[in-house]
Structure 1
Amino acid sequence: MKAKGFTLIELMIVVLIVAILAAVAVPLMRGRVDSAKWSEAKAAMGTVATAIRAYHAEKGPNGDAATAIFGQGATELGFADGDLEGTYFADEDYSMTVSSMDPLTFTITCTPSKTDAPSNYSQITLDQDGAWTETAATSG
């Protein structure tokens, strides 16, 4: 009677192939997750920019200045808890600040505040003209 099944060497080769594929796939996936996190951050920043313009149109140039987007300043712009959250982007994961509530001169800056934050940038800035500035993360 002939034994059926895989030999130990065949199983070890399969395990080795799976390990090599995993070693290649994990760093690629990390880059995709980083990209998704920053995409959601940019979407939230665009929403904040629109809210600043609406706030200025409603309150006029002398409205209260709110500079901390998450927390107290978010309610001034009409945001409730969780309004700016996404799949990867949560209020506690980032700090977002606005330099000015003037729709002609504002700058929104988003900086990750957790250790599992995206690794490719240390912060992203959006100005009133829609120009993005991405500051590369420094290693070390």
Structure 2
Amino acid sequence: MKAKGFTLIELMIVVLIVAILAAVAVPLMRGRVDSAKWSEAKAAMGTVATAIRAYHAEKGPNGDAPTAIFGQGATELGFADGDLEGTYFADGDYAIDVTSMDGLVFTITCTPSKADAPSNYSSIELDQTGTWTENAAAE
């Protein structure tokens, strides 16, 4: 009677193939995790951009530019302290630069400060046209 089953060599080959696949997949997944973390910041920045546009519509092109500092009572745009606080980004990570209320020119920047924040970019920016600019992290 002949025994049925896999030999030790066959099992070792299968383990080797699985290890190679894992070695290839892990770096790919790491990039996806950082991308998912940045989506938290992008959602918050989109909300801030909407608030700036609403502020501009209410105040008009001759109104004062909003000078809100998040985490320090950004009530000018309708935000309370902690509204932009998330898992990977804090209120103070977001900055607004309104260059002109006439024609509405602004940039929102997010620079992560939390320890478990994504590491593939040093910061990300959103301008009035909806263009995202990702600033590479220092090597």
TM-score, normalising length: structure 1: 0.71
In the aligned structure 1, how far is the partner of 2:46 from the partner of 2:114? 22
Two-structure CA RMSD over aligned residues (Å): 3.1
The aligned counterpart of 1:124 is 124
Paired position in structure 1 for 2:108: 108
Corresponding pairs, count: 134
User: For the residues of structure 1 that align with 2:24 and 2:92, how far apart are their CA atoms?
Assistant: 29
2:52 maps to a residue whose letter is I
Shift of 1:24: 0.1
CA separation of 1:38/1:138 partners in 2, compared to 1, >3 Å: closer, same or farther? same
Match of 1:42 in 2: 42
C-alpha deviation, 1:46, in angstroms = 1.8
Q: Which amino acid aligns with 1:47?
A: T
- Equivalent pair of 2:112/2:123 in contact (CA under 8 Å): yes
2: CA distance, partners of 1:118 / 1:94: 16
Rounded to whole Å, the distance in 2 between the matches of 1:115 and 1:84 is 14
Once the two structures are TM-superposed, the CA of residue 73 in structure 1 deviates from its matched residue by: 4.1
Residues 5 and 41 of structure 1, relative CA distance in 2, 3 Å threshold: same
Partner of 1:66: 68
SS at match of 2:14: helix
In the alignment, what sits opposite 1:96? 94
Quote the offset at 1:127 in angstroms: 2.3
Specify the code of the residue in structure 2 equivalent to 1:96: Y
C-alpha distance in 2 between matches for 1:30 and 1:62: 43
- Gaps (5+ residues) in structure 1? none
Stretches of structure 2 that go unaligned for 5 or more consecutive residues are none
**Structure 1, residues 13-39: CA drift from partner, whole Å, max 9, x if none?**
111111100000011111222223334
TM-score normalised to the size of structure 2? Answer: 0.72
> After superposition, what is the alpha-carbon deviation per residue over 1:60-84, rounded to whole angstroms, capped at 9, x for unaligned?
735873122xx34455433465667
SS in 1 for 2:3: coil
CA separation of 1:136 and 1:94: change in aligned 2, threshold 3 A: farther
Q: Are the equivalent residues in 1 in contact too, given 2:37–2:118 (CA < 8 A)?
A: yes
8 A contact 2:110–2:123 mirrored in 1: yes
Residue 110 of structure 1: how far off its partner (Å): 0.6
Q: How much identity, in percent, do the aligned residues show?
A: 74
